[in-house]
Amino acid sequence: MSYFLRRIGYFLLTLWAAVTLNFLIPRLQPGDPAEMMVKRLSGKDAEIDPAKIEAMRAMLGEPEGNLLQQYLGYLASLLRGDFGLSYIYYPAPVTEVIGRALPWTLVLVGVTLALSFVLGTVLGAFAAWRRNSMFDSVVTIGSTFIGTLQSFWIALLLLFAFGYVMGWFPTAGGYEASTPGWNGAFLLDALHHSVLPAVVLMLLGPVGWILGMRNTMIMNLREDYIRLARAKGVPDRDIALKYAARNALLPSITGLAMALGGILGGQILIETTFDYPGLGRLMQQAAAGKDYPLLQALLLLTIIGTLVANLVADMLYGVLDPRARKAS
């Protein structure tokens, strides 16, 4: 029981630190969002009236008072679920802006992550079981090579080849002519737009799972309990699946939890390259436009998602492996 209580205590302490940093970091950035919006509306070379900037601050509802008062007001707003109004998408509330982008990222990144984890785990386990074989060499060398490539480079290459040259897939956006909704035309249109981003994620996603699973399983195959199982005449299939692969899968739980939490942060480079309407592109826009309320909400969403996923992983780890409880 003490293991689980400590994990919950670490979670709460880390959550408080993350919320505090999430409040401070945007305010340490240079620039004034109200001034930027006035310049954007007035034109690049137009003379800026200070009264317009003050009026814009009042309209945006920028926090007043010293830093401590702003921090206390920020905590109170979080408890109410009020993240304020977006500066870029004014007067839309931040929750509404995030709500429009969240499904796109959950579907694209969530589905590709699940497929990458399953594919990478299976390939890594089979490569470890057939280590030093041709299959192991191809999978290991191929994964290492693909892992050195940058996601935005692959995205630009696919975009140029299949979007601009061949014209098989759209070059930007999440949908085009169809009306958003649960209808066949929109779903096919959205699927058509998501093919290239999904291919990039599926090329790079399994790499870490393959190498991690392979290395961990090879170490497990050298353990004494594997030798004992072979000496007792346990079939090779049971040794591979029930002993080596099962124990090698445990460290991947933490990695999967971090990846699941990271879904809420989106894929900034890929979504920006394809102009995909997900949380990653939204975060890039919020950072570039000094949209503090939107940026804070996105960062907090990502942090909480990662912390909750890690807490669940720690709990599962303690249940599946009693040694973890004793070690802590």
Q: Which two structure tokens, joined as six digits, stand for 257?
A: 């939890």
The single-letter DSSP state of residue 165 is I
321: helix, coil or strand? coil
| Total-model pTM | 0.71
Cis peptide before 206 (omega within 30 of 0): no
Determine the pLDDT at residue 38: 67
Q: At what angle do helices 2-28 and 67-80 cross, to 10 degrees?
A: 120
CATH of 2-8+99-292+302-327, one of 1.10.3720.10, 3.30.300.130, 2.60.40.10, 3.90.1150.10: 1.10.3720.10
Q: Read off the pLDDT of residues 112-167 as tens digits, 9 standing for 90 and up.
A: 888 888 888 888 888 888 888 888 888 888 888 887 888 878 888 888 888 888 88
What average pLDDT score do residues 242-259 get? 74
The pLDDT tens digits of the residues spanning 66-95 come to 777 778 877 887 888 777 778 778 778 888
The fraction of the chain above a pLDDT of 70, given in percent, is 79
What is the phi/psi pair of residue 233, to 5°? 85, 20
Count Cβ atoms within 10 A of the Cβ of residue 321 and give its class: 0-12 exposed, 13-18 middle, 19 or more buried.
middle
Mean pLDDT of the chain: 77
Looking at this protein, which amino acid is placed at residue 126? Answer: F
Rounded distance between C-alpha atoms, residue 272 and residue 270, angstroms: 5
Quote the pLDDT of residue 215. 84
pLDDT at 15 over 80: yes
The residue-averaged pLDDT of 14-37 equals: 73
Name the nearest CA neighbour of 223 among 128, 117, 118: 128
Q: Which residue has the higher pLDDT, 266 or 217?
A: 217
